[in-house]
């Protein structure tokens, strides 16, 4: 079953409500990557989110873009904070992806106050993005981040610059943090008013890894049971207008996509609370 689509902010693109999180391709072979592409095509996924720092991800995606020209809205990310370093990283990403432009270029994990100020000040990464947009190397500019402060930080970022998209965590346990929830809700309201796309991550996060049991390519321990993944994915998709970036593990990806294809309504709070109890979920961010 295909996944429904929605307007991706002001871009004019209707993206599937599940965006492919290409961190899952960081350390896989091209054969595994191509098998993953078939899974995406079966579900109609038309938006890819990668990053310069995601290992071999950009290289693995390049053959897809040649095979399926025009099918995907293509996003990547930059983690350099100065203008020169950011431009060099963009050029490298374009080369690795085998394209002459990307649709969305995002400032990656922009949370640290010092790095935030550097990136958004003259001579920072934002200047590189503005120049690249003028030159047609990118179309849209976004910002991403993690942690309990990031919803509030994104609100500050939107006060500083009119970003086209934001990306941040969203799952049931994270939203039990009142501070985070209030800032998340305020952020999404602001984004709706400004037609800024909201992407969310960590939908099936269960707890931080213990050192001895790191068995998935996600940096958090994920939910793995299909019924649990259904609830977690449905809970996120029930929030109108937001997108869910898929899990960073190619083996769990089909379960996330299958859940999204069957989404129909918000799970009841009792079901979500029971999920937290049986999975022993712990917040990723304190």
**pLDDT tens digits in sequence order for the chain, 286 residues long:** 899 999 999 999 999 999 999 999 999 999 999 999 999 999 999 999 999 999 999 999 999 999 999 999 999 999 999 999 999 999 999 999 999 999 999 999 999 999 999 999 999 999 999 999 999 999 999 999 999 999 999 999 999 999 999 999 999 999 999 999 999 999 999 999 999 999 999 999 998 887 657 778 888 889 999 999 999 999 999 999 999 999 999 999 999 999 999 999 999 999 999 999 999 999 988 7
pTM over 0.95: yes
Please check whether residue 110 lies inside any domain of the structure.
yes
Please check whether residue 264 lies inside any domain of the structure.
yes
Those residues with Cβ within 8 angstroms of residue 23's Cβ, 6 or more apart along the chain or in another chain: 50, 51, 54, 57, 217, 248
Q: What is the DSSP string of the chain?
A: -PPPEEE-TTSS-EEESEEEEGGGGTT--HHHHHHHHHHHHHTT--EEE--TTSTTHHHHHHHHHHHSTT--EEEEEE---BHHHHHHHHHHHHHHHT-S-EEEEEETT--SHHHHHHHHSTTBHHHHHHHHHHTTSEEEEEEE--STTHHHHHHHHHHHS--SEEEEE--TTGGGSHHHHHHHHHHHHHHHHHT-EEEEE-TTEEEEPPGGG--SSSSEEEP-SHHHHHHHHHHHHTSTTEEEEPPS-TTTHHHHHHHHHT--SPPPHHHHHHHHHHHT---S--
Please check whether residue 74 lies inside any domain of the structure.
yes
Please check whether residue 253 lies inside any domain of the structure.
yes
Number of domains in the chain: 1
Please check whether residue 284 lies inside any domain of the structure.
no
Please check whether residue 211 lies inside any domain of the structure.
yes
CATH number at residue 217: 3.20.20.100
- Report residue 251 as tokens: 């083996």
Please check whether residue 229 lies inside any domain of the structure.
yes
Please check whether residue 197 lies inside any domain of the structure.
yes
Determine the structural domain holding residue 83 and report its residue range. Answer: 5-279
Residue 153 has what pLDDT? 98
Question: 182-205: per-residue pLDDT in tens?
Answer: 999 999 999 999 999 999 999 999
Question: 64-100: per-residue pLDDT in tens?
Answer: 999 999 999 999 999 999 999 999 999 999 999 999 9
């Amino acid at each position: 079953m295909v996944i429904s689509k929605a307007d991706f902010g002001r871009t004019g693109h209707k993206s599937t409500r599940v965006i492919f999180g290409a961190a899952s391709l960081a350390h896989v072979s091209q054969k595994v990557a191509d098998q993953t592409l078939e899974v995406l095509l079966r579900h109609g996924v038309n938006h890819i989110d990668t990053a310069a720092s995601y290992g071999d991800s950009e290289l693995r995606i390049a053959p897809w873009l040649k095979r399926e020209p025009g099918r995907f809205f293509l996003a990547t990310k930059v983690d350099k904070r100065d203008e020169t370093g950011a431009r060099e990283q963009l050029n490298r990403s374009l080369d690795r992806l085998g394209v002459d432009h990307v649709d969305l270029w995002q400032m990656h994990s922009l949370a640290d106050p010092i790095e935030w100020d550097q990136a958004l000040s003259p001579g920072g990464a934002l200047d590189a993005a503005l120049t690249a947009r003028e030159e047609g190397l990118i179309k849209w500019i976004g910002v991403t981040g993690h942690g309990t402060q990031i919803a509030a930080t994104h609100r500050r970022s939107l006060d500083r610059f009119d970003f086209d998209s934001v990306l941040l965590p969203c799952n049931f346990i994270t939203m039990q943090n009142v501070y985070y929830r209030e800032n998340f809700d305020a952020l999404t309201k602001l984004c709706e008013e400004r037609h800024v796309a909201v992407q969310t991550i960590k939908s099936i996060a269960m707890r931080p890894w213990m050192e001895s049991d790191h068995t998935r390519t996600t940096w958090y321990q994920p939910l793995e049971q299909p019924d649990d993944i259904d609830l977690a994915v449905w809970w996120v998709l029930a929030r109108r207008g937001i997108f869910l970036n898929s899990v960073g593990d190619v083996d769990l990806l089909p379960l996330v996509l299958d859940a999204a294809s069957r989404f129909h309504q918000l799970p009841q709070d009792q079901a979500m609370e029971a999920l937290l109890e049986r999975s022993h979920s712990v917040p990723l961010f304190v």
